[in-house]
Amino acid sequence: MALALALFWASAALAQNSSTAQRAGQQTTSGLLARQGDGSYGPVAFDPSNAPFGLRNNNWVGLKGPNLSGRWPGQTGANAQGFATFEDPAYAIRAFIDLVRQYQDRYKARSAADILGRYSPAGDCSGAPSVSPAERREGGGCPENQTTPPVSAMRAARAVGLQPTDDLKLFGPGGRIEHPDRLRALIDAVVTQEVGPSHCPQPPRSEAWIGCRVDDGLYNRAIELLDRRS
């Protein structure tokens, strides 16, 4: 009897919590994890009415379309600034990996500093340490990004024990992924930066942890999509 009552109250509490979350308009992302106070990672919850664009539109990496008129696979549209919307966040991760591979092939961008310096140029202000998230990409440029690797590059390199200017050796012959751990650190650092501090903790430059992570399931789906289209 005691066990039955305990199960009943546990079920009731769960239903109440679920109902409260629904009333608050909260949604939980599938595949995106944020660092908790104890160092573990848990699902990111957000309110679609006031969440960052990337969370609301499955574009956690802040990716723009491949060109002025084209679309990435899985892209459903774009906002006025050209930032893409996707039907599934796996498509955004897939597109980011494809773009990074193009950077290596076309521009010999192989380090975190080179890759993310091209992905987030100085004029974007993305990753500039003195610029608040609300001011990113508002024009005016960020001189510090011209002399210092973007924050995301520092985080990605430090997470895998490298310097921002070290060759990550991400892709081998035929575009094969050589170091998935380094690629994932790069992805996670960009996600942390682009989603921003409202939902992804922002570690200091001197620390190796990254605020948000793409989980294994979503990363693997992105790789399957990449292989299917390559």
User: From CA 189, how far away is CA 197, in angstroms rounded?
Assistant: 12
Asked whether the beta carbons of 64 and 78 are under 8 A apart, the reply is yes
Is 5 inside any structural domain? no
What average pLDDT does this structure show over 92-97? 98
Is 195 inside any structural domain? yes
Share of the chain above pLDDT 90, in %: 64
Q: Which domain holds residue 199?
A: 32-229
Neighbouring C-alpha atoms within 13 Å toward the C-beta of 10: 6
- Which of 215, 191, 195, 192 has its CA nearest to residue 204? 192
Count of domains observed in the chain: 1
pLDDT tens per residue, range 57-92 = 999 999 998 877 789 999 999 999 889 999 999 999
Is 6 inside any structural domain? no
Q: In this structure, what are the phi and psi dihedrals at residue 129, rounded to the nearest 5 degrees?
A: -65, -25
pLDDT at 213 over 90: yes
Whole-number pLDDT of residue 52: 94
SS3 83: strand
**Encoded tokens for 178:** 């050589």
pLDDT tens per residue, range 107-122 = 999 999 999 988 976 6
Q: In this structure, what are the phi and psi dihedrals at residue 138, rounded to the nearest 5 degrees?
A: -100, 10
Is 14 inside any structural domain? no
Is 121 inside any structural domain? yes
Among the ranges 17-21, 66-70, 139-143, which has the highest mean pLDDT value?
A: 66-70
Is 16 inside any structural domain? no
Helix ranges (H only) for 24-136 are: 53-56, 89-107, 112-119
Is 37 inside any structural domain? yes
Against a cut of 0.85, is the pTM above it? no
Asked whether the beta carbons of 214 and 93 are under 8 A apart, the reply is yes
